[in-house]
Chain A
Amino acid sequence: EAGVTQSPTHLIKTRGQQATLRCSPISGHTSVYWYQQALGLGLQFLLWYDEGEERNRGNFPPRFSGRQFPNYSSELNVNALELEDSALYLCASSLRLGTLVRAQYFGPGTRLLVL
């Protein structure tokens, strides 16, 4: 069974530009989560999508946005890039059954460098 896939693996942008990161969940998973892992800060929850809708977001500014497509793949967009956006961006997917927490399975991440 294929795991979560992300593209690109690395991305270099300059301040003020926009970045688009992509994620394909495990087959059958409808929920997609995005996390930011910046140096020294640990994994921080960014966004949660399920059934094509944004269900919740973490404590990040609106320039972090995204969407989920009908095939459950997802895109994370970061506008007006700032130096501190440099981080590893991890996507995870899970089944969603009612309100039960399900294990999230992570992709390999996209390393974003903002110069």
Chain B
Amino acid sequence: EDKVVQSPLSLVVHEGDTVTLNCSYEVTNFRSLLWYKQEKKAPTFLFMLTSSGIEKKSGRLSSILDKKELFSILNITATQTGDSAVYLCAEGRVGGGADGLTFGKGTHLIIQP
């Protein structure tokens, strides 16, 4: 049973569109929710969210956590072809890195020119 579920699994949009990627997680021993971008090999850290309702922003990317409904969203506005990647969501549990991060399967985002 998947503990971190991402949707959609794949998404194709045109340059300039806005996209919203979803991630739901389990509540047991939850500590933080992390987003990564994976283009070829190394996932690149985007955001870490620990508090509900506080939006984190970095340029055209933003993310927010809802600890009541147990989900997070990643928004990308004015998408560019360079945003094409797999976006990974991961849950960190209590005890620091005790269990490592639990990753979802990712959303494969394709931005068409």
Question: Which of A11-19, A50-58, A66-74, A79-87 contacts the other chain?
Answer: A50-58
- Decide yes or no: A103 and B41 within 8 Å by CB, A94-B97, A96-B97 being known contacts: no
Cα separation A56 to B50 with both chains bound (whole Å): 23
- Decide yes or no: A104 and B42 within 8 Å by CB, A42-B106, A43-B88, A45-B102 being known contacts: no
Residues of A within 8 A of B31 (CB): 100-101
Residues of B in contact with A, size category: 20 to 34
By secondary structure, the A interface counts as: strand
Please, which residue of chain B has its CB at the minimum distance from the CB of A9? B41
Within the complex, the shortest CB–CB distance from B99 to chain A, in Å, comes to: 6
Cα separation A86 to B92 with both chains bound (whole Å): 26
B101 at the interface (CB under 8 A from A): yes
Chain A residue total in the interface (Cβ 8 A)? 33
Is the pair B34, A103 in contact by a Cβ cutoff of 8 Å?
A: yes
Within the complex, the shortest CB–CB distance from A74 to chain B, in Å, comes to: 13
Cα separation A102 to B32 with both chains bound (whole Å): 9
In the complex, per-residue mask of B11-39: 1 if CB is within 8 Å of any chain A CB, else 0? 00000000000000000000110101000
